[in-house]
Structure 1
Amino acid sequence: MVATLVATSFAVFASVYLAPGDPASFLLQGRSASPAALAAIRAQYHLDDPFLVQYVKWVGGAVTGDFGRSVQFRQDVAGLILARLPTTLSLVAYAGLLILLAGLALGALAALRPGPVDRIVLLGTGVATATPSFVAAIGLISLFSVQLGWLPAFGNGSGFGDRIAHLTMPAVALALTFAGLLARVTRSSMLEELAREHVEVARSRGVRERDVVRRHVLRNAMGPISTVTGTVLAGLLVSTSIVETAFGLSGVGQLLVSSVTVKDFPVVQAVSLLVVLAFVLANLLVDVLHPIVDPRLRRSAS
């Protein structure tokens, strides 16, 4: 895990460092400046330090939570991220809940109801997985905000109820693709378990169908489901930038987009590193929980 973070931090820093554009030019905002003034700006943000010196300073600061100062906002990067983190975490939690509820329910429904229901679910989840989040955002805004006027289209909202209303369409747009993916994985995993011999034996012994599904199918199908769920929840953080920008949410994703536009390197580096850290932690959590949710792994370990 440590080696992955070190290698990733180096790749993130190097990619931003080598990107075209000069942050000092943004600070001037088109105004002309003397060489002395330009040199002072570059010295203030350590832009003239050698690459390895900048990297070591950045990593040392990141370990203590100091990511430097934003070129765009003239504030500490850590403070900027912390101020916007609640919005992003709320959006991810809302979307994650929708993904789990819709994905598991539709996948189980398709596996247990072969025929027309299965085909309808497959068609719907296929459309969902193929729909980009920005297309879903445009469609949701057009229908539920512009035409019907049911939900607000932009902003974070104030108060619990208003925030939920403002986050509903962004959460749906963010969850759509991942819910379709989880539904398909759930369906495939459950169909595989339904075809196993021990399920037929349980049925032949007169065990009720719902008990067969709960004890023998769902429990054994949770291994692949938990694996893809961890990956999906981590991937949500990457997709938030598009959705937050589309709905005008002041979250970390929107901060990343605006920072890339103006070459605000400290913010881009910090947010990119945090996204990678979220991926690593999510995969670590899946590795820890996998033997717990999959009884076959527990039996093999014992």
Structure 2
Amino acid sequence: MAATLLGASFVVFGAMYLAPGSPASFLLSGRSASPAALQAINDQYHLDDPFLVRYLRWLGQVLQGDFGRSITYRTDVSTLLADRLPATLTLVAMALLVVVVLGLALGWIGAVRGGATDTAILLSTTLAVGTPSFVAAVLLQGLFAVGLGWFPTSGTGDGLLDLLWHLTLPAIALALYLIGMLARVTRSAMLEALDGEHVAVARSRGVPEREVIRRHVFRNSLGTVLTTGGLIVSTLLVCTILVESAFSIGGIGQLLELSTTTKDFPTVQAISLLIVALFMTVNLVVDLLHPLVDPRVALGTRRSGA
């Protein structure tokens, strides 16, 4: 993880300098400036230093918890992240809860019941997978917020309950695509487990069908489902940028969009590196949990090592 983060930090830092324009042009806002004024800006933000020198200076500050000072907001990037990160994490947590509950439930029902129920679930999940998050955000906002007036159209409100109320529609819009994906993965994994010999043996021994499904089918499918967890969380982190913009939520997603537009290098670099770190942490947790959910993974590793 340390080596990957180091490589990611180099890519994140260098990518902004490949884009056209510069922080100095934004700070000047199109106004002409004397060479002395332009030089003062370059000296303040070390824009004239060699690329490697700027990168090593930035990396040393990041390791100390200092992400620099925002060019747009004229404040520390760490302060901006601390103010906006709670809203984004709450939105992602709400969406993840909806994805896990509905995705697993629909996949379970479709695999177990089959027939018309399974067909209906397949059609609905296909529609969900084919609906991008920003399209779902516009449709939900137009119907339930503007049309019916059941939910707020934008913002995060005041207080925890008001925050949850404001984030309900964004969470659903963010989760819709992933609900369909997780449901289809769960259904396929359970159907494959249903054909296993251990299921036939359990049924021949008179084990109740509910126990067969819970202990021998669903539990054996969790390994495949858990592997999808990293992809789900990474998709949530990326798509929250679009959803936050649609609902005007003051989170890091909207901050990233605004900072990219204004060439706010320190803010974009900090948010990008934070997203990479969160993604890597989630994948690490998934890798650590996988052997606990499916002991065959650990046994296979030991045998290959032996």
TM-score normalised by length of structure 2: 0.96
1:109 equivalent in alignment to 2:109? yes
Aligned to 1:79: 79
Question: Does the 8 A contact of 1:220 with 1:296 survive in 2?
Answer: no
Q: Which amino acid aligns with 2:216?
A: H
Gaps of 5+ in 1: none
Q: Which amino acid aligns with 1:280?
A: M
Q: Which amino acid aligns with 2:99?
A: I
Q: Distance in 1 between matches of 2:270 and 2:48?
A: 20
Pairwise mapping of residues 1-302 of structure 1 onto structure 2 (< 5 A)? 1-300=1-300
Question: Does the 8 A contact of 1:107 with 1:185 survive in 2?
Answer: yes
Gaps of 5+ in 2: none
Shift of 1:25: 1.1
Question: Does the 8 A contact of 1:125 with 1:184 survive in 2?
Answer: yes
Shift of 1:155: 0.3
Counting matched residue pairs gives 302
Shift of 1:82: 1.1
Q: Distance in 2 between matches of 1:124 and 1:234?
A: 23
Q: Which amino acid aligns with 2:93?
A: A
Shift of 1:148: 0.8
Secondary structure of the residue that 1:269 maps to in structure 2? helix
Secondary structure of the residue that 2:291 maps to in structure 1? helix
Shift of 1:3: 1.3
Q: Distance in 1 between matches of 2:2 and 2:109?
A: 41
Q: Distance in 1 between matches of 2:9 and 2:195?
A: 45
Question: Does the 8 A contact of 1:190 with 1:217 survive in 2?
Answer: yes
Secondary structure of the residue that 1:156 maps to in structure 2? coil
TM-score normalised by length of structure 1: 0.97
Q: Distance in 1 between matches of 2:256 and 2:21?
A: 16
Q: Distance in 2 between matches of 1:240 and 1:148?
A: 24
Q: Which amino acid aligns with 1:212?
A: V
Q: Which amino acid aligns with 2:29?
A: Q
Q: Which amino acid aligns with 1:7?
A: G
Q: Distance in 1 between matches of 2:129 and 2:276?
A: 23
Q: Distance in 1 between matches of 2:276 and 2:299?
A: 33
Shift of 1:64: 1.2
Q: Which amino acid aligns with 2:259?
A: S
Q: Distance in 2 between matches of 1:240 and 1:155?
A: 14
Shift of 1:300: 4.3
Secondary structure of the residue that 1:74 maps to in structure 2? coil
Q: Distance in 2 between matches of 1:261 and 1:230?
A: 29
Q: Distance in 2 between matches of 1:25 and 1:212?
A: 66
Question: Does the 8 A contact of 1:245 with 1:254 survive in 2?
Answer: yes
Shift of 1:34: 1.2
> Identity of counterpart residues, as a percentage?
58
Between stretches 7-16 and 245-254, larger displacement belongs to 7-16
Shift of 1:235: 2.4
Q: Distance in 2 between matches of 1:147 and 1:253?
A: 26
Shift of 1:49: 1.0
Q: Distance in 2 between matches of 1:36 and 1:298?
A: 64
CA RMSD of aligned residues (A): 1.1
